[in-house]
Amino acid sequence: MTIRESLFFSYAGRSSIDYGILNVNMSSGMLEEPLAASREILEESVRGRDRPYFQGIRKSPLKFNVSFAFEDSWNTAKMNEVARWLTEHTYYQPLFFSNEIGRDPERIYYALVVDEPNLVHNGLRQGYITLTFRCDSPYTYSPQLTSREYKWDQKPLDVPISDFTTGNSAAMTTDGNGYLILNPVRPKLADIPPNTKLAEL
């Protein structure tokens, strides 16, 4: 699910529903949002060479703009609470968007509000907020996935062999305590008879 098609969002552990805020699109026409993080080519130019030396790629953290509209009119206390919720964090907070209240997110961003948040209103305490979120990396994260619990209903397997004295291995042997070790006498190619076939080795 993309950011622009989502109606609700959650940030820093709080849902936009708690504040009466919806994720909205204020532009007309097709919806536009970042597909991936911006990338920069790292290269070095030297005198006498028109073609620079390629050194790698550097990805920038994700950054995107959003608009959040109030369902009803606000008062000063509510606006201050919303401003603290969105703009007063000192470290990246989890952010995700969805169309259903309480639905598990598909993608989680770890983001902080940057630049200058704006309040656009009609003078009657009705309007929307425009924000810019910057993430901690060029990537989004999936939620924690856990599988169901599997019950083990088989009886334990008892193996009576407790040492390596039985069996046969040309490259392995046992020491005086019965522990498996590499054979110090290694076979050499010169020790193999000249008429020996590969299948006989």
List the chain domain ranges.
Answer: 8-135
- The answer to whether the beta carbons of residues 132 and 115 sit under 8 Å apart is yes
Tens-binned pLDDT, residue by residue, of the chain (201 aa): 788 888 899 999 999 999 999 999 888 788 888 888 899 999 999 999 999 999 999 999 999 999 999 988 888 898 999 999 999 999 999 999 988 765 668 889 999 999 999 989 988 888 899 999 999 999 999 888 788 888 877 777 777 777 666 666 667 777 888 787 887 777 677 778 888 877 676
Strand partners, 133: 64, 113
Closest by CA to 64, choosing from 2, 153, 106, is: 2
> In this structure, what token pair is assigned to residue 32?
């536009």
Residues 6+ apart with CB under 8 A from 1: 97, 98, 99, 106, 107
Report the CATH fold assignment for 8-135: Elongation Factor Tu (Ef-tu); domain 3 (2.40.30)
pTM of the model: 0.66
